[in-house]
Amino acid sequence: MFFDSSLSWNDILFLLDGAIVTIAITLASVALGTILGVLFGLVRAGALWWISWPLGGALDIFRSVPLLIQLVLFNSFNSMFRLHWSPYVIACICLGIYTAAFCTELVRSGVLAVPPATRRAARSLGMSWWQEVVSITLPMATRIVFPSWIGLSLGVMKDTSLVLWIGIIELLRSSQIITSRVQEPLLILTITGLIYFLMSFPIARLGAHLERRWQIQ
């Protein structure tokens, strides 16, 4: 038993299992969204307008449409086209594209913030476009966009609570299941909020530490 409550330690373990699912979806979504965001951001920052504008317009759709609607639509398309993807795969892909839509603009703004003279100097030294991007532009842009990327990642972790609508038992859904049995929503939601905090706080502190370290350098 948990204090004077009917909440048991098995219920706590059930919540922790949901937290693991939340972390797994977050890691997969942020990884996919970051990779796509870097690629799309470089395109948006350096490509011709007839490439950059259509890409930006497509990503604007994912930034503008509520994530819940996107999840429901992705899940419906999965059934319509008989893709037979699991809800977990659908959640990771949908959240990954959603993350990429925001990450793209972070990368684009970071790349454009690198002084053009610095980039021209790198090219004048004989660097290829790829060498200049990898060795000069991306490291400088990373320092600029990293705090915002941390905030985006933390937001994605909280947005994973919406995947319960496509049948995934993550942390929030786990708390709802326990609440329906125990009927102590205040206690359960308090514990759930504490778990979210314990998952988010180390990421926020790590981001702040790296930001201070880079400023010193």
Query: CA dist 33 to 36, 99, 136, 213, Å?
Result: 5, 5, 22, 25
The closest alpha carbon to 111, from 45, 35, 47, belongs to: 45
**Do residues 163 and 91 lie in contact, with contact meaning Cβ atoms separated by under 8 Å?**
yes
**Residue 75 corresponds to which tokens in the numbers above?**
């899940």
How far is the C-alpha of 63 from the C-alpha of 73, rounded, in Å?
15
Instruction: Map out the domains of the chain as residue ranges.
Output: 9-216
- Residue-level pLDDT at 217: 58
How far is the C-alpha of 21 from the C-alpha of 16, rounded, in Å?
9
Dump pLDDT digits (tens) for 167-214.
Answer: 999 999 999 999 998 888 999 999 999 999 999 999 999 888 888 887
- Reported CATH class of domain 9-216: mainly alpha
The mean pLDDT of 25-31, rounded to a whole number, is: 97
Dump pLDDT digits (tens) for 51-83.
Answer: 889 999 999 999 999 999 999 999 999 989 988
**Cα atoms in the Cβ-side hemisphere of radius 13 Å centred on 152:** 25
Q: What is the DSSP letter of 161?
A: G
- Residue-level pLDDT at 150: 94
Say yes or no to pLDDT of 1 above 80.
Answer: no
Dump pLDDT digits (tens) for 119-144.
Answer: 889 888 888 889 999 999 999 999 99
* Burial profile 177-215: b = 16 or more Cβ within 10 angstroms, e = fewer: bbbeebebeebbeebbeebbeebbeeeeeebeeeeeeee
Say yes or no to pLDDT of 47 above 80.
Answer: no
**Residue 2 corresponds to which tokens in the numbers above?**
């948990």
